[in-house]
Amino acid sequence: MRYRVGETVRVEFYKYPEEALHYWWEAEVVEVRPEGVLTRMPVGSLFHHEARGRVYRLDHTAYVAFFPGRWYSGGPDLDAMGRVLEYYWNVQTPPNLEAGRIWQYDLDLDVRCRADHACRVWDRAEFEARKPHYPAVWAAQAEAAIPAVLAHVRTGRWPVRPPEAPRPWMPR
- Which pLDDT value is given to residue 1? 64
The closest alpha carbon to 91, from 149, 37, 157, belongs to 149
Listed as ranges, residues in the chain with pLDDT below 70 are 1
Distance (Å, rounded) from C-alpha 150 to C-alpha 147? 5
- What is the distance in angstroms between the CA of the first residue and the CA of the last residue of the chain? 31
- Which pLDDT value is given to residue 58? 97
- Which pLDDT value is given to residue 172? 85
pTM: 0.96
